Homo-oligomer: A and B are copies of this chain.
Amino acid sequence: MLLKSYNIAIVGPMGMVGRKITSILAERDFPINKLKLLGTEKNKGKKVTFKERTIYTEVAKKGAFKDVDIAFFCAGNEVSKDLAPIAIEEGALVIDNSSRWRMDPKIPLVVPEVNPEDLDWHQGLVANPNCSTIQMLVVLKPIHRRYGIKRVVVSTYQAVSGTGKRAIDELNSQVEDYISKNRITNSVYPYQILFNALPHIDSFLDTGYTKEEMKMIDETKKILGKDIQVTATTVRIPVFTAHAESVNVETKLPMDIDDLTTILNYSKGIKVLDYPGKNIYPIPINCAGKDHVFVGRIRKDYSIENGVNMWIVADNLRKGAALNAVQIAETLIDRDLL
């Protein structure tokens, strides 16, 4: 059997997620005929190595998508807003990493382990959820299916790589300033992130919530069902890669913690790491670079009738962004939806 191969474009190939998509496509041997890297004027001609071939970055503009089957967009909301409709018109299927189209009721918002069936009604664009939403939903879905989720209270511990390379550089330079006893300066975040915790991710809305918190709330409802109640507090901590989440879940049906753990263990995309007596629980430095969503500290919440507490960790650039986008493409192919 001859496998079909595809013409792929990455819009925003020089950003952290764009680079990660390129490397994940190579790792997973995605069936690629031609890979186009579409960046800004400034990045035109920049070289990227893909499977020992050299690819020169072209400019992302009208006309660039005519021979493209799948276009990964990871250049922010403005580029997605302006260029995604053009890419669709020119015949590409767009997998969009920005938040621009996520809450549009005509756009499927998909985590392949959670709601692959929503791909069936795509109209040329599929939205990739927010990083902290994705990892939470991979774990919540099997719980919801079995016990029915009523309410979720989540507090996050998020890595600086979610902000981009300049935030990684800022944390590194703050470490250097600290060691050299220089004054620690900041420009990416409103305060020093080294040795600190900032309850502030993305911008604030009039309600007092951040956009990041509302993404976790609204995207969860869109994907799992709007009768699920969610509240969130999102916090940046001095970690480079992998977001952690303290998640409290109330279900409709009573849970048996052993059964719940077994269900999670057998669910796609999840690894349970939960032998606290042996210090086995997920931690960011060990989950960075991995594909799975890791869950541990699974324990009954005695403060309500049907409650459980969990600690969920995943690589925010991989499962939280690039990997999920590539998995969306793979699932579209599997389901013959291209």
A positions within 8 Å CB-CB of B: 151-153, 155, 157, 175-176, 178-179, 190-192, 195-200, 204, 207-210, 217, 229-231, 233, 235, 237-240, 244, 246, 248, 257, 276-277, 279, 281, 283-286, 296-304, 307, 309, 311
Contact = CB atoms under 8 A, between A and B. Distances in A.
A233 B311 contact: yes
Contacts of A285: 191-192, 195-196
Contact of A311 (B199, B277, B299, B309): B199
A240 to B, nearest CB: 5
Given A190-B279, A233-B297, A246-B235, A304 B151 contact: yes
A308 to B, nearest CB: 10
B179 A303 contact: no
A302 B300 CA distance: 24
Contact of A297 (B192, B195, B199, B281): B199
Contacts of A155: 155, 233, 246
Contacts of A178: 175
Contacts of A231: 248, 301-304, 307, 309
Contacts of A277: 204
Nearest to A311: B199
Contacts of A240: 195
Contacts of A298: 208
